[in-house]
Amino acid sequence: MKVFSNAVTFNYSWDEVSTANWRKYGPWNNKSEHVIAVDTLSRSVDEETGILRTERLITCKQTAPDWMKTMMGSNLDLNFVYEASYVDPATKTVTMVSQNLTWSNLVNVQEEVVYKPLGPHQTQFIQTVNITALCGGWQRIKNSIEDTLVHRFKENAVKGREGFERVLQMSRMAFAEEKERQRQVQMLS
């Protein structure tokens, strides 16, 4: 098993980050073009805790290395990921856990992402990914698969931060414009 971890501080409030998180894979993020669909499977609020639980299916188009394609006998371009997220307004924490559905007979990829406030205008992002190749006794192949995926996560972490920064900027602008529009409407009333 290999582990990839990443931490980033966003200079945005937890309210801004937790709201913009739902737009992370939208048109404002020019770094997530590999995500071609996000389908919400279920959404519910726990009446006792107020925690919002959402389950989503994320469809990605990513090219696998040629040696993996040869080994699996297909092009492996479409990937499906199951994600469950929990938004806890009491503790101001967003926790997202995801699991690969594609290649799950070859590799197990479990990711956890947590957003929590560092102060009134900063939010910490913590990402931990556990990657386990399931190739029986072929240690060399297992290491190659795990190393390849860790490398891909490292590359995508940079793009992910850049893309989410853009989503946060666009979201802040959109909310500011809407607040100004509402202020002007109130002045006319």
Q: What CATH number is associated with residue 115? A: 3.30.530.20
| Residue 66 pLDDT grade (very low, low, confident, very high; cuts 50, 70, 90) | low
Residues of the domain holding 51? 2-188
Least confident of 42-51, 64-73, 155-164: 64-73
Euclidean distance between CA atoms 159 and 8, whole angstroms: 12
Q: Is the pLDDT of residue 65 over 80?
A: no
**What per-residue confidence (pLDDT) applies to 71?**
63
Residue 12 gets which letter from DSSP? S
Domain count, the chain: 1
Q: Is the pLDDT of residue 25 over 90?
A: no
Euclidean distance between CA atoms 156 and 172, whole angstroms: 24
Least confident of 20-34, 80-94, 161-175: 20-34
Q: Which residue has the tokens 């559905």?
A: 101
Euclidean distance between CA atoms 100 and 114, whole angstroms: 18
- How many C-beta neighbours within 10 Å does residue 73 have? 7
pTM of the shown model: 0.86
Average pLDDT estimate for 54-69: 80
